[in-house]
Structure 1
């Protein structure tokens, strides 16, 4: 029996490569990387992370979260009809056309698929090749979808906490007063593969070879479903890591609260509708709250009179090796007080073999960092500042 289950799991895993969302997610991540690099080059004449950064973030953490959700779905005995999986894939592809990455959050793809599943069951929809998957829908499946949605919401929050803060992208923009200021932006797509039980024989008519497991009087297929999880946040009034971490913790908290509420769905299936609706509304409220609060804060990355605020650090640059951090302020270079970029680079050029900086950290404490400079090092240390206009006719970093 154990060997049979192992074989079915392996077969179900291989079917991941038949799912269009799997390939589409790589395409979207690649587009995100290219568009980010173009914007950063426009702002700074150089990119921060390379164009493959978003692709590298797509799967590793998502796979870990997916394993956790898979264990819970199997442990709770969640069975999700193929009709819902079909709708989730279709909505993922359609919502991506809006170019609004936040709409690829599970609260929209799975939440809207839940309501489409209810409608399809009542209207007895007939889809070619998958007639059985739409003919066997009833209210018994509502709680499983609601619980899966809350687990994916918790997973989204964990992804934001673990990975969203990594590699936030610096960006220049104009304030309402016309001044050039800096912000940070996170545009991230994660792929979360989750093993699901699909009830009935919905997959057998088009795929006769699909694995089926009999548990009691019920038949189930095992399917590894890739869920795309999109996230977009712009930060102007806080340190980017702190803002993203706060958002992630709030999403996890909302997910846990709704997961506890979803327990009652097994006794009152109609409660599933309320849980799914609250999930969508709650996630939107969190996004709106973050935007409103952040927009009412003064710009964190703006021109200061007592030094230069660090907007970004290039990876593997001298600044990165000196452990300089985004949000810190450089007040002196090689013993010379600085107030603008011109003064910074002039002080830097006075000693091309060594660099000593006096830095005001994010807690307001003074620290000193220094490093020998070598041939081949980035000529401007690899620091991104809120630029002044045209930077005196020289190339921006």
Structure 2
């Protein structure tokens, strides 16, 4: 890339290079009932400029309608976006394999049963299993999932019933910290059985494909934004899509520095406002992006440039050093210091009781 082209690309906002955006929710747009700083105004500007957004979430507990109400309540504009969930991806997967109206055990929040109904299948709650044999079971996140329900899933899948997990995220970001995600509950069932589920949520392709079908965009025209390297970013790479990794949720800068190639994003930013900022893909190098490893084996933070450019410099240096076999320190305190130098703010934890921690999900 020539100097003129590099300067031109750097000067234009990242989102102008794409015709559609697939955006994660938890840790990117909101944490519980609270909006992530800069998220609402950024998304409203994106849709106002004609770039459609599909919010694609692994959180299967709520229906798209409920999620939409939440987003509008935060101030997201009325039009220009839609919501797809991993429950819908699970239901679509089974609808292609089962007869219309087939009974499916639904474990999780209301979003699971609603997605099955929407896909032409018949959801059956665990309490009704004695009267209705089922052909499959969908396990998704729910704040009221019980030991009895997990036990029932175990009995069904051990007997050979088709088992679909909406996602296997071990944790879920909340305003109070990390809460157990659906993956933790799926792991409980796996521990007690010899079965393994078919997973449709990120990083698998099914949810990305469903979202992109809503956008009507080709792969090179689609950008994914997320806060998890192991789901959002790895999944985007697997689906052949560019991605923006934001440091407003689950994964931190140290995680990004040590990411394997399969989980490295195209761009990085502190939060969603990075969509409106200029920036080069992380794999692009130029003289002003070159920094050195300090004596503590972490990249030196450049003194010049804006925080976005300095952040990119730190990440590219860490990746280059690791790819060349040089030692890079993984000391948490050192990386936390770099985050502070770059103006990155850790998600705040509230002091209220954790019993309220999932109220907004």
The TM-score with structure 1 as length reference comes to: 0.28
- Greater share of residues in helix: 1
Higher Cα radius of gyration? 1
| TM-score normalized by the length of structure 2 | 0.30
